[in-house]
Amino acid sequence: MKPFSLVPVFKDYLWGGTKLKTRFNKRTEASPLAESWELAAHPDGDCRIANGSFAGTPLSEFLRKFPESLGSGRASGGGLPVLIKLIDAREPLSVQVHPDDVYAMRTEGGAGKTEMWYVLDREPGAFLYCGFERDVSREELTRRIADGTVTEVLHKAPVEPGDVFFMEAGTVHAIGAGILIAEIQQSSNTTYRVFDYGRRGPDGKERPLHIEKALDVARRGPACSVPPGSRPPVILPGSTLRRLARCAHFSVELLELSEHCEYRTDETSFLSLLCLEGSARLVEGEWGFDIAKGDSVFVPARKGSVFLEGRGTFLLTTVPDGEL
């Protein structure tokens, strides 16, 4: 089964901006444009196939017909296990936390949410919150949520392009203003808001918080500072490949393509390619198609290789099988 490009799903959350349109050529009337879901088969957003024999088909429908395209390992059973986004935070996001699989299944009937961020760009002085500076008790956290001082005990991390942050489920966090990121996460849209700066939604009412659930799932201590499974770059003929993170839910690599690359695939997992800079051509014999900045490509699980020719930067995502 051949690879194909995807049509993204757009989200106009109130904290979004315009950079996904100006920097990644996302064409939509949505304003502001906060998120572009580049790989999604979720009830809240389902990409469509952009080219090939299945053009126009919702990705979820394709995966129901061809579940083997997800792979035979951890990716199999239960639908697409990851969701990949581009995020433009013109304003800060709420301080929030996501549940793990056990809590989410019990209370929400779905998956939890561990995620990884790759910083694409930032305004001067931009920062994000990830975890706490020190251990805090449930009582102190409850009090600080009530009096609006929770950010005083969160770890404030300045960001630069190329930075990687890993947010295990239960990590209290917030993307700050002026940050453009790529996010790889479990396929979940469950978020418990802890603090939201008193902002009001389109209905004029303050957006709801989810304090009790947040207190149940929050890890009340410092977060992991080094993404799990990260490895130094490997220099290959025509490209450089660096693993950014690897956990039970996803494995993410950064491909710097200077001329050409052969990336080997197998039956255990699909492969997602997201073009962050430049362009390339995906080639299979006499067949192929062009990939531009902002394009997302799905490669069904199979034993073989993906050939890329061009110059650009790509995020490659798979679902691990076996030992981490």
Query: What torsion do the CA atoms of 177, 179, 184, 185 make, to the nearest 10 degrees?
Result: -10
Tens digits of residue pLDDT in 225-278: 789 999 999 999 999 999 999 999 999 999 999 999 999 999 999 999 999 999
Q: Are residues 192 and 266 in the same domain?
A: no
Same domain, 252 and 179: no
Residue that is last in its domain, among 156, 183, 217: 217
Write down the catalytic residue from 74, 90, 122, 193.
Answer: 193
240, 192: one domain: no
Token couple for 204: 């004029």
**Residue 285 shares a structural domain with residue 163:** no
H-helix or E-strand spanning residue 154: strand 154-158
CA end-to-end span of the chain: 28
Q: Is residue 34 part of a domain?
A: yes
Which SS3 state, helix, strand or coil, does residue 22 take? helix
Indicate the residue among 157, 185, 217 that finishes a domain: 217
Q: What digits encode the pLDDT tens for the residues 176-208?
A: 999 999 999 999 999 999 999 988 888 888 889
306 belongs to a structural domain: yes
Would you state the structure tokens that stand for residue 308, as one six-digit string? 């890329």
208 and 313 belong to one structural domain? no
* Global confidence as pTM: 0.95
CATH number of 291's domain: 2.60.120.10
| Same domain, yes or no: 258 and 169 | no
Q: Which amino acid is at 64?
A: R
Could you tell me if 81 and 117 lie in one domain? Answer: yes
Residue that terminates a domain, selected from 217, 250, 271: 217
Mark whether 102 and 242 lie in a shared domain: no
Q: Which domain holds residue 307?
A: 234-318
174 DSSP 8-state letter = E
Q: What is the CA radius of gyration of the chain?
A: 19
Residue 97 forms beta bridges with which residues? 192
Mean pLDDT of 203-230: 92
Q: Examine the residue annotation and report whether 193 is marked as an active-site residue of this protein.
A: yes
On whether both 184 and 238 belong to a single domain, the answer is: no
CA angle at 110 for the pair 99 and 222, rounded to the nearest 5°: 15
